[in-house]
Amino acid sequence: MTDRIPLVIDTDPGIDDALAILLALASPEVDLQLVTTVHGNVELAQTTENALRVLHLAGRSDVPVAVGAAGPLVHPLPERAGHVHGAAGMGGVELDPSPAAVDPRPAVVALAELLMAHDPGTVTVAPIGPLTNIALLLAVFPEAAARIGRVVWMGGSAARGGNVTAAAEFNAWADPEAAHAVLTSPLPVTMVGLDVTLPTVLTEPGIERFRANGGRVGSTAAAVLQQYVDAARNSYGISGVCVHDALALTEAVVPGTLGTTRRDVVVGTTLGAARGQTLADLRAVSAADTAVEVADTVDSEAAVEFLVGRLESYGA
């Protein structure tokens, strides 16, 4: 394809981050040019190692990986998500080490240089973890940040409450100050939050399809997902998982997959019960240049089929 979208994934792998990276690499609509890592689900050193190993699994160790922020902008993160993703973030599955070394540049520098090398408005940045690196880019390289075509963020919740607290979704809660800076900036942000990810459930028959048909990559992805599946069954009594980050990547790969409404969004940055809450003004559509495209409608069946089909393609 001649009109592939230049793509950067900013990530804290994480089980569903791994699936999102694999989805992007299986999608001819985009050209994954850089992966930047951030603290989040597990410690930064582990998220970086996981990103390298997932790229290697897909045969794409050529994609540079640059190391980003080790912690939030202001307050330490109270807890990570190893209880969900496993201590090493990959559901207890040990992926083969990558032969590639990390990019010597800090993540924000690597991202700024990539943006300055492309025409304004052409690069999509998909942060699927805390927004620390993107907030730092805004602060340190505003001229580069202004060249971003789209920011497609997996995080937040407009009307569904939270998943790590009653109010907050994990990626927003992990660095609320960064989320507030990004969501109130003029960046063209699409917020893919719990409103659309919670209804979008990958069931065990879908997982079995890419386990059986997706070659080594598909079978490994299914194995990585098993801890997610077991946790969902034990905690919620459901036979399937919400692969939050993969839905955000689907929107990045095929813009318009999700229905969105422009809303003003602020983020709770106090240390109380509302910390990390993404408070979207649902009273009216916003015309402000700082408004966020809040994803509020999804064809869940089609989105799951898209993910399963792309993961099956690894077996071709």
> Which positions are catalytic?
244
Residues 6+ apart with CB under 8 A from 49: none
Q: Which single residue is written with the structure tokens 């990276």?
A: 21
Q: Mark out the alpha helices in the chain (DSSP H runs).
A: 15-25, 44-57, 82-85, 107-117, 132-140, 142-145, 170-174, 176-183, 194-197, 204-213, 215-236, 244-253, 300-312
Kind of pairing between the strands at 5-11 and 30-37: parallel
Cβ neighbours, 10 Å, residue 182? 27
CA–CA separation, 108 and 177 (whole Å): 17
Q: Are 174 and 75 in contact (CB under 8 A)?
A: no
